[in-house]
Chains A and B, each alone.
Chain A
Amino acid sequence: MQHNKIDAGIDVGSLSAEAVLLSDGGIVAYAIRRTGANPLRAAESCLQEALDKAERSRSDVRHIVATGYGRLRVPFAHREVTEITCHARGAHYLFPKTRTVVDIGGQDSKVITLNSRGEVTDFVMNDRCAAGTGRFLEVMADALETELSQLGDLSVEAKRGVSISSMCTVFAESEVISLIADGLEKKDIIRGVHESIARRIFRMTKRLRIRREITFTGGVAKNKGMVAVLERLFKTKLNIPQEPQVVGALGAALLAREMTRQAP
């Protein structure tokens, strides 16, 4: 059987690591793991898991590009590129008409504008504050004594959103707890939580000139409530990848493939 050579992209985040294998025909396989304390090991096992799924071995991999917070800890990568460039590439591959990427990860969020070739034209990052990231949802889920996975559906079911004024995650948590104590409808509070994050993101976009189509990536894109609230705010439908968490790794894999094409 003819084995096509493949290229790999690895995105080592602070919470999760993803690997994507790409052949000339497209995405072959991908894997997602928790990063844990050892980014190098997470990168290796993630890559291995993807290879196992694809029934390939390391020797089939031509080039590897690493991205994400831990990209410097992947010595076996041929190149390291920021997650900004990778998210733009990955989103563009999946949705060629996309010109803006909104990425909400576990611990950071970013907005990227790109051109028709998938190249970054501008970007803004929030990596200092938990508000506006997945962490915010986690903290609120705890405070609301609800499963994180259910937050999205509950938010969509709400009739209205209770406004949460605190900018800071810690204070917002206290605010949510007192709202619960005041007896407000839980779903409405949950919707308010989602709106709070969305407002944060919207404010970030004000620093750029964003255009349609907008692609929503990152783990938080799996949250239906977040999608609904953002679509309302941006007044447009968002592109949601089938697996929003691997877009960064996909972009890295695309860059790896480019390396192979330039110097086979």
Chain B
Amino acid sequence: MATIGEEEKISHRALKRVVRNPLTYWSLAPLMEIVNLREQSRAYKIWVRYLIWMMRSACSKRKKVIWMSAFTPVELAYAVGAIPILPEIIAALVSYLGWAPPFISIGNSMMSTDVCSFYRCALGLAVEGYLPRPDLIVSSSHLCDGANKFFSYLSQRYACSHLLLDPPYDTGPEAHGYVTDQLRYLLAHMVDLMAVSLSEEELCKVVGLSNTMRKYMVRINRLRMAIPAPFPGSEGLSYLAGMGFCSPGSTWGVRFSAILARELEDRVAKKRGYLDNERYRVLWLHHIRPYYQNDIFQFLSSQGVSVCFEEANYMYWPPFDPTKPLDSLAHKILSNVWAGPLERRLGAVKEMVNNYRVNGVIHFSHWGCRQSCGGASIIGDFLKDQGVPYMILYGDGADPDNYFPGQTRTRLQAFVEMLG
């Protein structure tokens, strides 16, 4: 007797084939160029092109595909000529396009609804076969428990190896040696498991590119200190952060950040803010925002409140030494302010509050994110001591069914009134 609900709709099977076919992306490319013709920002166009290239290359089967967690150094993938696919980022994208609910639903049938909706969405996407098949899975246990175990399950399901980078809490010289060793071991295993080649030269080149991107990102961050804010936080939390996760080590990343830096230079020189009338400036904490259709940022803009900067793009690592690639990457990993003790994050928040001359801070507490939300109160205490208005905005980054526009609006309005 057939099991009900498992007979797949023909339309679904066809859709999956379309999504995983590189031809789809070949044809999508010119279409997107036309759609984005009126788009003002060239940097944004690069983001779209990057995504298309990423999916096309991953689906082409000519390159190896590595699934990675958001904080895993993607430089490792680029160094071996593989394509990094970040399920969490794709989940955010899917949510942005309004397609998340059915995938979240599938995730809900397999995991508790108390876990992060990005992972539930990604689970749905993976299990239904909408993501390009992985040749390998590499994740890092920072910043959260999900990044470890979530990928464990996928590796079981896809019968492919899962390599875990496990940065310690501590950051002393022992920790540094431990992480560098892990990176070395990781690369060796990647080469072995995927039968690819890696030269020291290539690795140095990739890390060099990542370093160049870093240089531009630092410039972008400095430009964003201008008043009025030249670049909206909502975009910082979407494609700027997205490129920050997916592209370091690739030429895409360099091109994108260089062009964005130039765009911002131009705007700052002309004293052009993204808001016509900026009354207040706000800092957004947590790496994400609700990606599905919502009116949070539109409302803030309407009140003359700019989200001038976001924690997601805080530059926390020192410049690389491209002659010592693994060492540099280890430094970056251990400099992460959201890993380790909370003091580091507090320090970063303090810096941002001062540098960006913010009038208030919003912490987006995403349902299911313990590592970030657990610190929200302590950050609040700290900011209150400094006299900075602070609000914790509870919400869900990926699941529109968990969004309550009325309640959210009330809180935001009250917060804006606090700023006044």
Contacts and interface: CB of A to CB of B under 8 A. Distances in A.
> Would A and B touch once assembled, by the CB under 8 A criterion?
yes
A62 interface: no
A212 B2 contact: yes
Contacts of A205: 4-5
Interface string B1-33: 111111000000000000000000000000000
14 contacts: A99-B1, A165-B401, A202-B5, A203-B105, A203-B109, A205-B4, A207-B109, A210-B4, A211-B1, A211-B3, A212-B1, A214-B4, A234-B5, A235-B4
Given A207-B109, A210-B4, A234-B5, 12 more contacts: A99-B1, A166-B401, A167-B402, A202-B5, A206-B109, A209-B3, A210-B3, A210-B5, A211-B2, A212-B4, A214-B4, A236-B4
B4 A234 contact: yes
B1 A206 contact: no
Contacts of A202: 5
A188 B164 CA distance: 52
Contacts of A76: none
B141 interface: no
Contacts of A210: 3-5
A208 B5 CA distance: 10
B404 interface: yes
A163 B6 CA distance: 24
B154 interface: no
Contacts of B2: 211-212
Interface string A221-237: 00000000000001110
Contacts of A203: 105, 108-109
B106 interface: yes
Given A165-B401, A167-B401, A206 B5 contact: yes
Interface in B58-117: 105-106, 108-110
B365 to A, nearest CB: 19
Interface in A71-97: none
Which size bracket describes the interface of B in this complex?
10 to 19
A203 B4 CA distance: 12
Interface in B389-410: 400-402, 404
Contacts of B401: 165-167
Nearest to A206: B109
A171 B4 contact: no
Interface string B268-283: 0000000000000000
A10 to B, nearest CB: 32
B106 A206 contact: yes
Could you say which of A206, A209, A210, A235 has the most chain B C-beta atoms within 10 Å of its C-beta? A206
Contacts of A165: 400-401
A170 to B, nearest CB: 11
Nearest to B400: A165
Contacts of B402: 167
B355 to A, nearest CB: 40
A203 B104 CA distance: 11
Contacts of B105: 203, 206
A121 to B, nearest CB: 12
Interface in A171-192: 171
Contacts of A206: 5, 105-106, 109
Contacts of A100: 4
Contacts of B3: 209-211
Nearest to A171: B404
